[in-house]
Amino acid sequence: MTEAGFSCLLCGHCCLNLVDAYRGCVSDADLDLWRREGRDDLLAWVETLDLGHGNLLHTAWIDPETGDDVDRCPWLRELPEQRGYVCSINAVKPQHCREYPEHRHHGQQTGCPACKN
């Protein structure tokens, strides 16, 4: 969100509670970035489904060992002494994560504590 006044509280709400943050789809651009950066660790957690007619759906985060959906983002790290959370892949996190919240109203609708009021 580029709106003035938004400051992330590092509470982890978006990564812990919003299913798209940890069990959504990633874009072709995300995959291209991860390939360029040599991030096989991230690519291993993506399942690509062929929807036919050249349409692909890239689902993240799928546990590479079990093939199961995850219960929370595998890249979210809790800060010491309960000071919040950080994204351990911040520099290359998926586009939908980088763009959250899209605007203040979106943040309010999805319960972002930084967007209250």
Domain residue extents for the chain: 13-115
Q: What integer pLDDT is reported at residue 81 of this predicted model? A: 83
Q: Is the pLDDT of residue 7 over 90?
A: no
- Nearest Cα residue to 63 out of 49, 77, 73: 73
Flag whether the pTM goes above 0.85.
no
Based on C-alpha coordinates, what's the Rg of the chain?
15
Q: Mean pLDDT over all residues of the chain?
A: 89
The yes-or-no verdict on residue 2 having pLDDT over 50 is no
Choice among 5-9, 25-29, 65-69, 104-108 with the minimum mean pLDDT: 5-9
For residues 113 and 107, is the Cβ–Cβ distance under 8 A? no
